Amino acid sequence: MMGTGRGIVIGGMLIVVACCVTNLPASGDDRDTLRDLRRTHIVEAVEKVRDSVVNISSLQRVRKRRSIFGTLDQTQQSSGSGFVIHKDGYVVTNDHVVARSTDHRVRFANGRTYEAVVVARDRLHDLAVLRIEPEQPLKPLPLGRSDDIMLGEDAIAIGNPFGLENTITRGVISAANRTLEFEDATYTDLIQTDASINPGNSGGPLLNAVGELIGVNTAIRPDAENVGFAIPVDQLRDLLPEMLDISKLYQVEFGLRVGGETAEVVELTDKSPAAEAGVRLGDTIVRVDGTPVLRGVDFCIAMLGHRAGQTVSLDLLRDGKRLTKTVRLAEVPKMDGSEIAWRKLGMELKPLSRAASVRLRLRRDAGMVVTKVDPNGPAAREGIEEHDLLASLGRYRAWPLDGVGLLLKDVKRNDPVDVVVYRFFEGYRPARVELRLYAR
């Protein structure tokens, strides 16, 4: 009996010991194994894109009541999100994230922060492109497609809700082709998701399960939970070629335009750099300086940062054969932007001086200063005054002066010209207004 009892006791002790052993902390190798088991496709997607997502902050401080600029309030700091589309520092966000200020900061997950300037915007579709000057190449976010999204598939939102940087939420695609109406705008073809989107997520990416961009987070339903909306990436693809047109951004003459599902040359200007290099209508561009090009937007993104005088190597497909052409970019003929602005809009312009940029805490390329206004011209009729800052014309930045001339040269009498103007008050941040002028 005693022997049997001892055996039971010993057996019990052995069981206890075994249980204790299984609860001991795992070794380093075991922990790595367990971590690998927990690394889902969602985790892998987030790890792939985390360095491409940014926080965007804008400072607004305005007071007083003054003419067209309405009632002004105290300082406010707004926060949104964005993502890198080009290694040289181009970032996409919502237009409403940057619309109310000239003072923008872009912050990465590692804490690096840069001043940013808006280089192109599309208010109608709520999209904007910013430029920063990084010390080293950035990691662009891979663009997916939204024409093949599936209802119920995973969706990942990354952004900065309520200022909480790099917040990741997960949900599914709830619906497609939604229409959202506001007082001043209507957005169509939106993606609906139940991935949590909150104030501060605006402009951030909506991703699929493999980490590709499928949408730009833009709006929520404040009267409902987990009902968020994103601009489909295919809409972004369609708009970027015009927003990133290097002839308007950098006053560079190339002489071709691509279109269609592939980067096919659909327009070619006679005696332009592209034509002189041997490019033909119908050619399909497959590489730019070694960078693969699959669609027209890939070509436009690859061309960012190129300046007049530089050469561009194009790999082309023509009648099934692969060719390489080298194009030397030319400078668009300079124009007197101030003279053209006076003739068509009734205001003279000059660049922001170094002293003024320091005093107003603005970049010198933030826009053009209005130095004279024709009292009977389009600018005066909408309330523009001397010393105002013209920040943008249409979707483009009003800078440099010859760039202003290029933007206005084809404007005809009574054509609408949308402008953004800032007015400065001593001791306060600038007040901003969007106006529509009609050319004379």
Q: Mind telling me the catalytic residues?
A: 96, 126, 202
Let me know: does 325 contact 278? Beta carbons within 8 Å: yes
Q: How far is CA 370 from the centre of its chain?
A: 28
Say if residues 201 and 96 touch (Cβ distance below 8 Å): no
Rounded distance, CA 86 to CA 83, Å?
Answer: 9
The helix (H) or strand (E) run that includes residue 311 is strand 311-318
Which CA distances in Å does 179 have to 81, 229, 424, 435?
Answer: 22, 10, 37, 26
Which residues on adjacent β-strands are paired with residue 173? 193
The residue among 227, 150, 218 whose CA lies nearest residue 188 is 218
DSSP state of 135: S
Q: Are 108 and 139 in contact (CB under 8 A)?
A: no
Nearest CA to 41 among 214, 209, 213?
Answer: 209
Check residue 430 and give left, alpha or beta (phi > 0: left; psi -120 to 50: alpha): beta
Q: What is the DSSP letter of 5?
A: H
Q: Residue 342 — φ and ψ, nearest 5°?
A: -65, -45
End-to-end CA distance of the chain: 114
Name the β-bridge partners of 118.
130
Give the three-class secondary structure for 355: helix
Phi, psi of 223 (to 5 degrees): -95, 10
Return the amino acid letter for 301.
I
CA 420 – CA 391 distance, rounded (Å):
5
Pick the closest to residue 181 from 194, 190, 172, 171 (CA basis). Answer: 190
Quick check: 368 and 398 in contact, CB under 8 A? yes
What amino acid occupies position 352?
Answer: L
Q: For residue 211, with 0-12 CB atoms within 10 Å meaning exposed, 13-18 middle and 19 or more buried, which class applies?
A: buried
> Which residues sit opposite 53 in a β-bridge?
83
Q: Are 171 and 55 in contact (CB under 8 A)?
A: no
* Three-state secondary structure call for residue 102: coil
Instruction: List residues bridging with 169 in a β-sheet.
Output: 157
